[in-house]
Amino acid sequence: MSIKIILAPMHGYTDAPMRDLLTQIGGFDEVVSEFVRITHTLHSRRTWLKRIPELANNGKTANGTLCCVQLLGSDPICMAENAAMAVANGAKKIDLNFGCPAPTVNKHQGGAALLDNPELMFRITHKVRQSLPENIPLTAKMRLGISDTEKTLDCARALSDANIAELTVHARTKIQQYNPPAQWQWFAPIQEVIKIPLIANGDIFSVQDFNRLCQEITLSGIMLGRGILRKPDLALQIRANLKQQTIKPLSYTDIMQILQKFFRQTIDYSPNNQQYPIARIKQWLAVLKQEYCQLQPLFNSVSKLTTIDDIEQTLLTFTP
Ligand SMILES: Cc1cc2nc3c(=O)[nH]c(=O)nc-3n(C[C@H](O)[C@H](O)[C@H](O)COP(=O)(O)O)c2cc1C
């Protein structure tokens, strides 16, 4: 069985250094950028390249994995103009966000707020599709609804009718936030009403979860979010499983090397902001230690440190 594996956009986590690192570890066919918020202005080339440096590399991460550019907004014309601008600046694929639950974006009718209005979802998507060259695929990512699933199928149909190439479904409503379990039972009926591939997303944290998901639906693709932050080799594990193989999970030593590399990459990525690499490494360690409990003492030490040199030294010398 061959399926597409995509790295989920996770605002504040899957920035360019993380996308670069995770695609180097491997297993991904594609990544999606964190959302770029579209209001009434047309983003400049500088902004596009700052948010998505992959655009200067033919729209790909350093190891050649396609980085799809995700837009979030509610005005069809502004969305269309910015999508065209992203493409003019190097984007090779565009994705539209219909799932973000953040109050700041929902207040302006962006993200999950649109799930109450399939007709507007259609107009936005249709307009964006019209603004893009034919060879640039347009995709969308949605939740099931705002507070219930009454309009789930209408939303999915609206996006499919607007000619998207693939639909990713995070199988929760907005008010479910990230509470388990994701409602995988919705994948099959959604797949039924859309005539395009469905990418299943939500609560795939292990190969076992993936195998359970395979019993719900014949999969075209999956998107991995929080699971990959906890297990950076999860996509590789799933790929091996698809070939009836198993691979050795990353060892503690592998993880230490990955952390050192990540820290270095974040330092290089933001040379004028010392706080950025420090915040990023602390944030990722907090997530990784959920899977690699031997990292707890490292997390405790790094949490107290405030300089790049001290953290780098600790990452190089730490033994559990
Ligand atoms: C911190 C965080 C930030 C997220 N940012 C985005 C985003 O920018 N765009 C988007 O479409 N989804 C975003 N999501 C949702 C994820 O892409 C994904 O749909 C969700 O986490 C469920 O998948 P998972 O169970 O594999 O994590 C975010 C999720 C988290 C936890």
pLDDT for position 55 = 98
Q: Which residues of the chain have pLDDT under 50?
A: none
The CATH code that applies to domain 4-242 is 3.20.20.70
What is the number of residues in the chain?
320
The CATH code that applies to domain 252-317 is 1.20.225
Question: In the beta sheet, which residues pair with residue 71?
Answer: 36, 96
The yes-or-no answer to whether 4-242 and 252-317 have a common fold is no
Task: Decide: 10 in ligand 1 pocket, CB within 6 A.
Answer: yes
The DSSP-derived string for 130-194 is HHS-TTS-EEEEE-SBSSSSTTHHHHHHHHHHTT-SEEEEE-SBSTTTTPSPP-GGGHHHHHHH-
Under 8 Å CB-to-CB from 30, ≥6 apart: which residues? 4, 6, 7, 65, 66, 67, 68, 93
CA nearest to 43, candidates 66, 62, 23, 71: 71
> Quick count: other Cβ atoms within 10 Å of Cβ 83?
27
Ligand 1: which atom is nearest the Cα of residue 170?
Answer: 19
d(CA 151, CA 284): 36
Domain edges within the chain: 4-242, 252-317
CA of 317 to the centre of ligand 1 (A): 33
Q: Return the residue whose CA atom lies nearest to atom 13 of ligand 1.
A: 10
d(CA 148, CA 108): 21
Tokens 């700041």 — which residue? Answer: 104
pLDDT digits (tens, 9 = 90+) for 180-208: 999 999 999 999 999 899 999 999 999 99
Query: Percent helix, strand, coil in the chain (nearest 5)?
Result: 50, 15, 40
Q: Which two tokens stand for residue 204?
A: 């795939």
Task: Decide: 73 in ligand 1 pocket, CB within 6 A.
Answer: no
CA of 225 to the centre of ligand 1 (A): 6
Task: Decide: 203 in ligand 1 pocket, CB within 6 A.
Answer: yes
pLDDT for position 44 = 97
CA nearest to 46, candidates 37, 59, 56: 56
Peptide bond preceding 133 in cis form (omega within 30 of 0): no
Q: Is 67 a catalytic residue?
A: no
Task: Decide: 224 in ligand 1 pocket, CB within 6 A.
Answer: yes
pLDDT for position 320 = 73
Q: Return the residue whose CA atom lies nearest to atom 15 of ligand 1.
A: 10
Task: Decide: 9 in ligand 1 pocket, CB within 6 A.
Answer: yes
Tokens 């948010």 — which residue? Answer: 51
pLDDT for position 195 = 87
Q: Return the residue whose CA atom lies nearest to atom 2 of ligand 1.
A: 10
